[in-house]
Amino acid sequence: MDEPVEKPQLSLGEKLQSVKRNALYLTLFCVVSGSLILSHALSIRVPTQPQEYTKDAYKLLRNIPEGQTIVIDTGTTNASRGECGCQMEAVLRMAMREKVKFVLYTWVEPQCVEVAKSIIANINQERRTSNPPLPEYKEWDDYVILGFFPDGPTMLQSVASNIREAWGTKKEKDPTGAERSVFESPVLKQIKRVDDLKAYLPISPTNLMPTVVARVGRKVPVISMIAGVMFPEQFNYYKSGQLKGLVNGLVGAVELEALMEKGIDSAGDVGGNAPGPPIAAPFPGAKNYARGSDYYFAFCCAITLLMLTVIVGNVGMMLEKRRNR
Amino acid sequence: MIPFAQLTPPTTLWSAPNGSTLLWAEIIIAFLVGTAIVFGLAFIPKGLRRPIIGSATFLGGLYFMLHYLWPTAQDYSKDEIPRNSVETVSFWLQSSLPTVTNFNQVLTGLLLGLGIASLLRVHIGRVAKKHKEWPYSLTLVISMVVMTIFGYWDWCSKIGPGAAKAAAENPQIFPNFGWNFLFDGLFVNLDAVMYSMIAFFIFSAAYRSFRLRSAESAILLGTAVLVMLSLMGSVLVGWDRVVDMMGGSGHGSVATFMGNFRLGNIKDWVQNNFQSPSIRAIEFGLAIGILAMSLRLWLGIEKGINS
């Protein structure tokens, strides 16, 4: 009979370098879930310092006159609800409070429109149950949904050339249930050319920017809302002035929520009290801190844990090196 | 100002009322003709396939190339009469764009349909032949069919005056409940779960690979830590408060010097001087590559990976 093989004793350095994958996964799961529950239960608000590109986005969005129309080009699915979902909620809350009308469509994935509809329904529910209750945002009167365009780049090329013809075949039901051209709706009635739109907002984890900027970027201000992983690529478009604002993933969504709460005063300070009309007013008393802020604490905990594990691995490597010398 | 009536799209063959028999007949005829063309292409002699596809690609590319390069008519209206051949081409390019766009939407939609047909063919074949892991294929086929049925049923139930509102007020209506359960209850959450799994892999990979083995890795790790710290609002605010306490606030040379050590400024410096230029260089390289590849495809020089 074979003698039982004795397992070699691992040194501390080796142990620190070889933490099992399952243990790492479990730690991450516990930390993220725990911090998410804590953040929600205790309404933990992590402070933020809005960046210039987020402030630019807020300034532009906050100063769109009532009744004007913007475009929301969504690529948001629930895969990116932690980033683009939060951004979409913030934008929709702002648009509804400012009574800005919007056109919504996608050329990324057909499901994006369904996801956006759910977000709109949730915010409408929030408005109905608020104190005092706010009027619902209604399809046709306040927004129109153009659906899914399988070939986005060509559609955008056509929009830049003649928006009336590009979306001319799109129909929506009016409040009586009759199908009419979207250009008869209050949302698009005044839109003759793409230049009449006040902003174009791609909210997507995918990189739509080269297509959007090349086709409509010179005619309408574009504000990009993206997942954090795409930020470095998109930052170049902001630096070159092709983007008028940029919202960077979850951090950007939280910054947007903070700006909605605090506003930008006449001196350009967030939450300041400088005399004179503010550059971008806040929304006092409204629900500004929302899903983004709820997720942010968990995000910070996850990053801290990531850095700790990297430190643990490196300490282990150094101990092992010293032992082998 | 142009009267609104002129701006509404003209009535075309395809503008029959939604759900009408005429529109259904047109859709079915178009579908049959489209399918016949697609399958017809499969019976073309091999020698003719390449010239046909090459010609279609060249013409498509030429149209969009001209759209970018040909002088564009400013504030073009359909009533205008071209004064010369340049304007004739320009007006034609502008007036035909919506038609080309619609054609492209339909063609891309057809490609999606082809993809679905191909997926079904492969997976139904696997189920029929009891291929290894056939239950996964069966799950895919069932999910696809059930989702299509409920999606379409839900859509049909919301047609008509007040139907959408009634469905929203009473979510227990069977097709709406079924669709909500399948889409919002299952699909959406599975989608979120799939994506969130990446976090676990990134976490594990970072632990194993971020090691200070050389000067280069130290620079990379240091930069990564700085950028990660700058993403944490509390650290960013706290760090900058410490810098302010050390003389970073206010004006003057000390404040200006200390201001360099604000975390946000360090991150901006890394972002502006290293990250953005390097990504810009990569993007330029990629763009040149894409341009070269597009030209090869457009002119029919590209032979494909197999040849």
Query: Which residues in chain B are contacts of A177 at CB distance < 8 A?
Result: 160-163
Query: Which residues in chain A are contacts of B161 at CB distance < 8 A?
Result: 176-178
B1: three-class secondary structure by DSSP:
coil
**Residue that is written with structure tokens 């081409």 in the block:** B89
What's the pLDDT score for residue A38? 93
Q: What is the CA radius of gyration of chain B?
A: 30
Report if residue B60 sits inside a domain: yes
DSSP A84: I
What's the pLDDT score for residue B3? 42
Report if residue B284 sits inside a domain: yes
Residues B103-110 have a mean pLDDT of 87
B51 touches chain A (CB under 8 A): no
At residue A204 the predicted structure's pLDDT band, cuts being 50, 70 and 90, is: very high
Side-by-side strand order, sheet with A223-226: A143-148, A101-106, A69-74, A199-204, A223-226, A245-248
DSSP B182: I
For residue A249, is it left (φ>0), alpha (ψ between -120 and 50) or beta? Answer: left
Residues B225-253 have a mean pLDDT of 83
Query: Which residues in chain A are contacts of B92 at CB distance < 8 A?
Result: none
Query: Which residues in chain A are contacts of B8 at CB distance < 8 A?
Result: 168, 181, 183-184
Q: Is A81 exposed, middle or buried (0-12, 13-18, 19+ CB in 10 A)?
A: buried
B3 touches chain A (CB under 8 A): no
H or E, element range at A144: strand A143-148
Q: Write phi, then psi, for B253 (nearest 5 degrees).
A: -70, -35
Q: How many domains does chain A have?
A: 1
Q: How far is CA A292 from CA A12, B33, B137, in A?
A: 40, 50, 37
What's the pLDDT score for residue A186? 96
Q: How many domains does chain B have?
A: 3
Joined tokens for residue B92: 């034609």
A311 touches chain B (CB under 8 A): no
Report if residue B24 sits inside a domain: no
Joined tokens for residue A40: 């929600």
Q: Based on the domain organization, do B196 and B220 belong to the same domain? A: no
Report if residue A60 sits inside a domain: yes
The closest of B236, B234, B221 to B267, measured between CA atoms, is: B236
Termini Cα distance of chain B: 58
Q: Based on the domain organization, do B168 and B223 belong to the same domain? A: no
The rounded percent of chain B whose pLDDT value lies above 90 is 28
Q: How far is CA A311 from CA A304, B198, B239, in A?
A: 11, 21, 20
Q: Based on the domain organization, do B123 and B164 belong to the same domain? A: no
Report if residue A6 sits inside a domain: no
Q: ∠ at Cα B101 (B98, B102), nearest 5°? A: 90
At residue B2 the predicted structure's pLDDT band, cuts being 50, 70 and 90, is: very low
Least confident of A140-144, B255-259, B283-287: B255-259
Contact B94 A235 (CB under 8 A): no
Contact B108 A81 (CB under 8 A): no
CA of A300, closest CA in chain B: separation in Å? Answer: 6
> Which CATH number characterizes residue A101's domain?
3.40.50
**Residue that is written with structure tokens 């075309």 in the block:** B12
What's the pLDDT score for residue B7? 45
What's the pLDDT score for residue A10? 84
Termini Cα distance of chain A: 39
Cβ contacts from A onto B, under 8 A: 171
Separation CA A208–CA B296 (nearest Å): 24
Report if residue B30 sits inside a domain: no
Report if residue A31 sits inside a domain: no
Contact B7 A121 (CB under 8 A): no
Torsion, CA B13, CA B16, CA B19, CA B25, rounded to 10: -30
ipTM of the complex: 0.83
Report if residue A36 sits inside a domain: no
Residues B160-181 have a mean pLDDT of 73
Contact A21 B97 (CB under 8 A): no
Which of A15, A21, A136, A161 should we substitute to test contact with B (largest number of B Cβ atoms within 10 Å)?
Answer: A161
pLDDT over threshold 80, residue B166: no
B80 touches chain A (CB under 8 A): no
Report if residue B10 sits inside a domain: no
**β-strand partners of B201:** none
Residues A248-270 have a mean pLDDT of 95
| Neighbouring residues of B84: CB distance < 8 A, sequence distance ≥ 6 | none
Query: Which residues in chain B are contacts of A306 at CB distance < 8 A?
Result: 203, 206, 228
Name the residue range of residue A179's domain.
46-301
Residue type, B10: P
Q: Is the pTM of this model over 0.90?
A: no
Most confidently predicted of A255-264, B24-33, B160-169, B193-202: A255-264
Q: Based on the domain organization, do B104 and B150 belong to the same domain? A: no
Report if residue A34 sits inside a domain: no
Contact B260, B244 (CB under 8 A): no
What's the pLDDT score for residue B79? 79
Contact B9 A81 (CB under 8 A): no
Residue type, A208: L
End-of-domain residue from the set B182, B209, B236? B209
For residue A242, is it left (φ>0), alpha (ψ between -120 and 50) or beta? Answer: alpha
At residue B4 the predicted structure's pLDDT band, cuts being 50, 70 and 90, is: very low
Contact B233 A296 (CB under 8 A): yes
Least confident of A75-79, A173-177, B56-60, B115-119: A173-177
End-of-domain residue from the set B154, B175, B209? B209
Torsion, CA A140, CA A143, CA A147, CA A151, rounded to 10: 130
Joined tokens for residue A310: 């990297």
End-of-domain residue from the set B147, B174, B209? B209
**Residue that is written with structure tokens 């919506």 in the block:** B98
The rounded percent of chain A whose pLDDT value lies above 70 is 99
Q: Based on the domain organization, do B85 and B119 belong to the same domain? A: yes
Residues A174-195 have a mean pLDDT of 90
B195 touches chain A (CB under 8 A): yes
For A157, which of B97, B105, B199 is closest by C-beta distance?
B97
DSSP B242: H
**Residue that is written with structure tokens 């609104």 in the block:** B4
Contact A251 B207 (CB under 8 A): no
For A150, which of B109, B183, B203 is closest by C-beta distance?
B109
B160 touches chain A (CB under 8 A): yes
A9 touches chain B (CB under 8 A): no
Q: Write phi, then psi, for B221 (nearest 5 degrees).
A: -65, -45
**Residue that is written with structure tokens 């997720």 in the block:** A295
Q: Taking CA atoms, what residue in A is nearest to B282? A: A233
H or E, element range at A247: strand A245-248
Residue type, A241: G
Report if residue B118 sits inside a domain: yes
What's the pLDDT score for residue B46? 83
Query: Which residues in chain B are contacts of A235 at CB distance < 8 A?
Result: 271, 275-276, 279
Query: Which residues in chain B are contacts of A115 at CB distance < 8 A?
Result: 188
Q: Taking CA atoms, what residue in A is nearest to B155? A: A114
Separation CA A89–CA A291 (nearest Å): 8
Least confident of A79-83, A262-266, A288-292, B155-159: B155-159
Q: Based on the domain organization, do B80 and B62 belong to the same domain? A: yes
**Residue that is written with structure tokens 């930008």 in the block:** A264
| Neighbouring residues of B60: CB distance < 8 A, sequence distance ≥ 6 | none
What's the pLDDT score for residue B184? 84
The rounded percent of chain B whose pLDDT value lies above 70 is 87
Report if residue B14 sits inside a domain: no
Query: Which residues in chain B are contacts of A169 at CB distance < 8 A?
Result: 9, 14-15, 102
A204: three-class secondary structure by DSSP:
strand
Q: Based on the domain organization, do B170 and B139 belong to the same domain? A: yes
Report if residue B117 sits inside a domain: yes
Q: A101-124, pLDDT tens digit by residue?
A: 999 999 998 889 989 999 999 999
Q: Taking CA atoms, what residue in B is nearest to A293? A: B233
Separation CA A220–CA A202 (nearest Å): 12
Contact B272 A239 (CB under 8 A): yes
Contact A66, A100 (CB under 8 A): yes
Q: Taking CA atoms, what residue in B is nearest to A168? A: B9
Compute the half-sphere exposure of residue A228: CA atoms within 13 Å on the CB side of its CA. Answer: 15
pLDDT over threshold 50, residue B157: yes
Contact A115 B188 (CB under 8 A): yes
A102: three-class secondary structure by DSSP:
strand
Contact A144, A187 (CB under 8 A): yes
Contact A127, A158 (CB under 8 A): no
Query: Which residues in chain B are contacts of A192 at CB distance < 8 A?
Result: 2, 7
Name the residue range of residue B60's domain.
44-131
Report if residue A57 sits inside a domain: yes
What's the pLDDT score for residue B6? 42
Contact A309 B183 (CB under 8 A): no
